[in-house]
Amino acid sequence: MGSWGDQGDGTYKNPVLNADYPDVDIEQVGDTYYMITSTNHYAPGMTLLKSKDIVNWRMIGHVFEKLTWEPTYNFDRMSGYRLGVWAGDLAYHDGTWYCYFIDTRSGLYMSSAEEITGPWSRPICMLKKQRWTDPAAFWDEDAKQAYLVCNFGPDPVQKKNQTRLFKMSWDGKKLVDEGTALYHGSGAEAAKIYKINGFYYIFLAEWIEGDRKQLVLRSKSMYGPFERKIVMEKAAGARRSVCQGALVQAADGSWWYTHQLVQHRAKTKGTFAGRTTGSSYEGRSQWLVPVRWRDGWPVLGEDPDGNGIGNTVSGWTRPIQGHPIDAPQTDDEFDAEKLGPQWQWNHNPRDDRWSLTERRGWLCLRADVPVNDGGFWNASNTISQRLMGKGKGVVTAKVDISGMEPGQQAGFCHHSGQFILLGIRVDADGNKRMIFNNNGKVKAGPIVREDVIYYRTQNDGNQAFYEYSSDGETFKRFGEPFRLEFGRWRGDRLGFYCWNDSGPAGHIDIDYFHYDYDGPKRR
């Protein structure tokens, strides 16, 4: 069954989502669990998934097709890197779905829908730009009062993040007071509110002694005073911190907590927000741990050293039995009339430069001129999906290059904070030449005379390389091996690029994308 996820024998191995699914929130309705995960500058934004057992997850869409609230994210700007959709909250109340999220450049936003699959309303701004992140809504049915809690940025006096609680209108669309600071902590954020057995519990993450720990505040009153307890920390010898997720309950009454692995911080000055080292290249994966209650406090995972603070677990018995193995979508034959939910564009796409209908069964990408100074980061309509897992992986794609024109570059890409490309560049004389582009350092290869080319990329852990073929059977390696990396708050991604430095001319047609990896997959 692979090194992670459902093992097919009633157990699972962590992580249950071994890919870039950060900042999740989960809402249970009936016997189904729904998840959101942040997507930054990619469109469609805020990925939606569902599960029957909290282990096997399947994508069902996104909250919004495009990032419409700022021109920064348009294809003619391409300037929203490290911005966009950050950690949010998914809620269901009185027959309406809500998604709250922060754009750190412009403010707090909310979308709503009658059905989880949409259509979702256009995001509305509830509060203009502040230095805050990670909102979460809570409806107190006993008091008939709605609230929104968030990290409101550093307090000017204490110089620590303040966890601030706002009263909210019952329809979930307006904040009705200035908010009250409930807690101050170093980097404190990702707050979630739960009411269990008469106690209000606020889960939040905080940096303490170099570790991103999971905390819980507890009180009989929504406004405190609160007791504070560390409930989860990094195990001895572990490299990455564990925190920030969602508390859920199974039908048998058992409690569970999803959490992410925090990105491993680089030690080089100035690289934390941009690139990281070592173990984070797949992004912030999602882990699932059992929760036990002791003296009214949750114990997350296991407590092997007996200090009363939980550690994550490598695996466990599935919370809910009897459901088949499933996984987020990856493979695509491009036969549908709509793109699969695994695909996202780098910024909002230019819709007149791509098509699934011009040539049935193929994805057509038409080249456009990059904005600003050109190059990969400024080229619109780059399309990609998440790297899956940390074991071995192989992707093969079939691409028709007969429609390429002089000045055009197109092919396959790995990217996050870096970009590594294998593709075709068309010279002024019309020759199509293989190129390998490692972060702007280009290696030119042989002239390609065939109309169809097959790209293949293989990775073993964070070590990867490219190959190509004219028949899909015999592959040749080209370019140097490279290392996968985390960057711009995202894990490595796999996909296709297409641009033309000379003008909006030329296109490629993609027949299929096949992905085999070490992990669960729907068969």
Catalytic machinery residues: 23, 189
Q: How far is CA 453 from the centre of its chain?
A: 30
Does residue 225 have a cis bond before it (omega within 30 degrees)? yes
The secondary structure of 346-359 as a DSSP string is: ESS--GGGEESTTT
Instruction: Check if the beta carbon of residue 23 is closer than 8 Å to that of residue 17.
Output: no
Cβ(492)–Cβ(415) below 8 Å = yes
d(CA 352, CA 363): 13
Q: Residue 263's CB: how many other CB atoms inside 10 A?
A: 25
What is the distance between the alpha carbons of residues 213 and 240, in angstroms, rounded to a whole number? 11
Dihedral over Cα of 478, 482, 487, 493: its sign: positive
How many Cβ atoms from other residues are within 10 Å of residue 315's Cβ? 16
Kindly write down the DSSP assignment for every residue of 418-469, as one continuous string.
Answer: SEEEEEEEE-TTS-EEEEEEETTEEEEEEE---SEEEEEEEEETTEEEEEEE
Q: What's the longest Cα–Cα distance across the chain?
A: 77
Please measure the distance between the N-terminal and C-terminal CA atoms of the chain and give it in whole angstroms: 12
Tokens, residue 203: 């889960």
Contacts of 79 (CB under 8 A, 6+ apart): 72
Residue with tokens 């429609």: 403
C-alpha separations of 305 from 214, 235, 245, 262, 308 in Å: 17, 9, 23, 22, 8
Q: For the chain, state the CA radius of gyration.
A: 23
Report the amino acid identity of residue 419.
Answer: F
Report d(CA 113, CA 116) in Å as an integer.
7
Query: Could you tell me if 212 and 205 are in contact, meaning their C-beta atoms sit under 8 angstroms apart?
Result: yes
- 404 contacts 410 by C-beta, under 8 angstroms: yes
Report DSSP state, residue 330: -
Beta pairing, strands 124-128 & 107-113: antiparallel
